[in-house]
Homo-oligomer: A and B are copies of this chain.
Amino acid sequence: MHIEIRTGQFDPYVEVSRYQRTTLNLPGQYGATAVFVGSMRDFNAGDSVQAMHLEHYPGMTERYLEKISAQAASRWDILDSLIIHRVGELRPDDPIVLVAVWAAHREAAFDASRYLMEELKSRAPFWKKETLPDRSRWVTRADE
């Protein structure tokens, strides 16, 4: 179980591969891996988006992501989970969030990965501010 806040760009598929090989390191035990990647779109709520600032609450973010990771591990029969979330200045197409769950069977992997994303979206203290061609704006829940 690992969570991480990143200030620089990351490649989610390289991260999943590396974590699986070096940290999880349970070849033959996981029959199912469910991965979700959220990426920055260049269009939102009818406007072209040129850049994004992602603010977070340092400390609380980590605590919250660890809490939901532990909850997922207690609710489903999973082997491990990985969450990486970007903060700072982002460009369109940049990965924002990676959630990966390893399990023996697919139901637990699917359920736990979706649970983690829904909990992260609803309560993890991150806020997006978009740079539009003529102004910037804080994203609201209704926009997404």
Knowing A13-B13, A106-B117, A114-B110, the reply to whether A33 touches B28 (Cβ < 8 A) is no
How many chain A residues sit at the interface, stated as a range, is: 20 to 34
Asked if B35 and A92 sit within 8 Å, CB to CB, the answer is no
User: Is the contact region of chain A dominated by helix, strand, or loop, or is it mixed?
Assistant: mixed
Asked if B17 and A41 sit within 8 Å, CB to CB, the answer is no
Asked if B32 and A36 sit within 8 Å, CB to CB, the answer is yes
In the complex, A39 Cα to B32 Cα: how many Å? 6
- The 8 Å CB contact of A39, one of B30, B39, B93, is B30
- The 8 Å CB contact of A31, one of B28, B41, B104, B110, is B41
In the complex, A96 Cα to B92 Cα: how many Å? 32
Asked if B43 and A37 sit within 8 Å, CB to CB, the answer is no
Chain A, range 7-52, C-beta contacts under 8 Å to B: 11, 13-14, 16-17, 27-43
List 8 contacting pairs A-B, 8 Å CB cutoff, sorted by A.
A13-B16, A27-B93, A28-B93, A31-B38, A31-B40, A35-B35, A35-B37, A36-B110
Residues in chain A within 8 A of chain B (CB atoms): 11, 13-14, 16-17, 27-43, 92-93, 104-106, 109-110, 114, 117, 121, 144
